[in-house]
Structure 1
């Protein structure tokens, strides 16, 4: 038995059951009695973390990320942990890698540690392809709230905090088109929810401007400075012309700057480059890199605020978005 069964038996929402379990006073006595009666009839114990019915919590939140060496994910983990601490919560971090079995194993591990909620950082935890198995997340959400940072999965007790990646890339590409660019290259690192939204933003801007993009002009590659450098050199030697490069990650944009330097191409006069995430890498190139700021600190802070609201029995939206900004530096002049 789980919280869904209690919800159905009592004829109330899962959010209402959660409020009763967390001792929230914003529930009528009649509704509280219905929920408690349903739990008794179903012989449901609100999981061994002893969170329910106003009892004390473990005051611990699980955090999962695929790769703590990744600049974006490492920053997000830092901001999430700091914000949790401000609420008096401890954190347990699991670095899962991209293997589905490991993700499922670490989810089970965190549940066994009696955490009060789990924050999944990055969009690699959800497979949005038709027929994909995301049951390990959905099953966990029947017991505790799950927060996705820059990922999306529909479900009760699952809450998504994301950057509007589509609009961010679309707006940057549109600005470059208005500045006179027609020969684009788009480099991206992932087919995740976030990665596909970025790619759609690029394609939508091109379609709206009537710009044809052949297969050489958008490329999925490893998140690597050298790989993007190598690919751009490859198409350059094929005599594919380009004067504007957009990327889904700053590492790829740094590779583009190195490519330009190697081939004697002047940036931004002959080639304009825009990265993504506004990471520390943006300040490490010469010239410094223009980059889309995906607001990792705000996303992380909002994720924790949302989780605290849910744990307190509050009513919150399942989808929450923040708006990115383009930070213009020396690799652009538009």
Structure 2
């Protein structure tokens, strides 16, 4: 069923059907009612993209994320779509993976659909090489680009970020003040968020008079078993640590499993702090102290900022929110 069938059954031109779909006032009420009645009888649903060609807005927002199976990003997608629906906007989701060319491909796909804006969920869309971000900067000349916990400076680009630096700085400082001296840091990536977390870890050590030891800083895939096995290997190599701070809860779960494997008492002899306060932090025994990056507030703030952009209001390029440390049973603060 298509617009041609509606035209034929209603006895009007295709242009008239198009005007009805687009809400054009140059159609008599009688004709409008007839066309709508025929559409209902035929069960015709207009294609949103075709309809949008004649409108100022598609009422549709593109969302990109690197991995929808990631608990943090899955939550972000849920909150973004929920908030967009509350403002009567539809969304198109693209899961891109981490390859730059694939990200560019899906970004251009969303632009071809004439979406009203694009939201980049997560910090993995901002590349370390400035030239690799040119496709985002150029697109922002035409439509708003919103970043959730990523930052890129440019006109018509708006970032909502958690203060990851302060969050990790505070967590590491608390560990030190509670007696930990050999704090190992596990991280997953060199993203915008990842770099801020790393800086927070190092600054806390320096502020408390402790050395920054490269043998206590390790990158690890976002995988529970990989994190556990990495810690076991480090212990076998004679690297001594009495606490672990991680950039993601999955790595923190691996740290708890490491302690269980070596029969180390938590938190008496070994402390663990995760990041994101995800369901994983509550699924271990003991439950994990974790930094809540407040993903729901990040996402709702992003959409509310976008609505202000659409309204023509003055909006800052970056909005920063504070995290919250959720104390559970893997620390003895």
Give TM-score, length-normalised by structure 2: 0.83
Residue 232 of structure 1 deviates from its aligned partner by 0.6
Does structure 2 conserve the Cα–Cα contact (< 8 Å) formed by 1:288 and 1:330?
A: yes
Partner of 1:58 in structure 2? 58
Residue 197 of structure 1 deviates from its aligned partner by 0.2
Return closer, same or farther for 1:223/1:121 CA change in 2, 3 Å cut-off: same
Extract unaligned runs of 5+ from structure 2: 1-50
Work out the CA distance in 1 between the residues paired with 2:104 and 2:52: 20
Does structure 2 conserve the Cα–Cα contact (< 8 Å) formed by 1:49 and 1:115?
A: no
Q: Alignment partner of 1:265: what SS?
A: coil
Q: State the structure with bigger RCO (CA 8 A, min sep 6), 1 or 2.
A: 1
Partner of 1:233 in structure 2? 232
Partner of 1:96 in structure 2? 96
Work out the CA distance in 1 between the residues paired with 2:196 and 2:98: 20
Does structure 2 conserve the Cα–Cα contact (< 8 Å) formed by 1:107 and 1:140?
A: no
Residue 215 of structure 1 deviates from its aligned partner by 2.1
Return closer, same or farther for 1:284/1:329 CA change in 2, 3 Å cut-off: same
Partner of 2:191 in structure 1? 192
Superposed CA deviations along residues 141-189 of structure 1, whole A, max 9, x for unmatched, are 0110000000010000000000000000000001111111111100000
Work out the CA distance in 1 between the residues paired with 2:317 and 2:212: 35
Q: Alignment partner of 1:171: what SS?
A: helix
Partner of 1:210 in structure 2? 209
Partner of 1:10 in structure 2? none
Superposed CA deviations along residues 275-325 of structure 1, whole A, max 9, x for unmatched, are 000000011000001000000000000000001110111111000011000
Work out the CA distance in 2 between the residues paired with 1:321 and 1:330: 29
Partner of 2:36 in structure 1? none
Residue 133 of structure 1 deviates from its aligned partner by 1.8
Partner of 2:152 in structure 1? 153
Work out the CA distance in 2 between the residues paired with 1:108 and 1:242: 47
Paired positions, count:
283
Partner of 1:138 in structure 2? 137
Work out the CA distance in 2 between the residues paired with 1:94 and 1:64: 5
Q: How does 1:167-182 map to 2 (within 5 A)?
A: 167-182=166-181
Work out the CA distance in 1 between the residues paired with 2:317 and 2:153: 8
Q: Alignment partner of 1:133: what SS?
A: helix
Superposed CA deviations along residues 26-83 of structure 1, whole A, max 9, x for unmatched, are xxxxxxxxxxxxxxxxxxxxxx9669xxx63110000000000001001000000000
Partner of 2:107 in structure 1? 107
Work out the CA distance in 1 between the residues paired with 2:230 and 2:87: 46
Partner of 1:82 in structure 2? 82
Q: Which structure has the bigger radius of gyration?
A: 2
Work out the CA distance in 1 between the residues paired with 2:146 and 2:177: 38
Partner of 1:119 in structure 2? 119
Given the alignment of the two structures, is residue 72 of structure 1 paired with residue 72 of structure 2, yes or no?
Answer: yes
Residue 216 of structure 1 deviates from its aligned partner by 1.8
Superposed CA deviations along residues 98-142 of structure 1, whole A, max 9, x for unmatched, are 11111111111101111000000001101134x442011011101
Residue 333 of structure 1 deviates from its aligned partner by 1.2
Work out the CA distance in 2 between the residues paired with 1:214 and 1:199: 13
Partner of 1:18 in structure 2? none
Give TM-score, length-normalised by structure 1: 0.83
Superposed CA deviations along residues 181-220 of structure 1, whole A, max 9, x for unmatched, are 1111000001000000000000000111121232220101
Superposed CA deviations along residues 218-270 of structure 1, whole A, max 9, x for unmatched, are 10111111111011101111222211110000000000000000100000011
Work out the CA distance in 2 between the residues paired with 1:277 and 1:83: 20
Partner of 1:252 in structure 2? 251
Partner of 1:13 in structure 2? none
Provide the alpha-carbon RMSD of the alignment.
Answer: 1.3
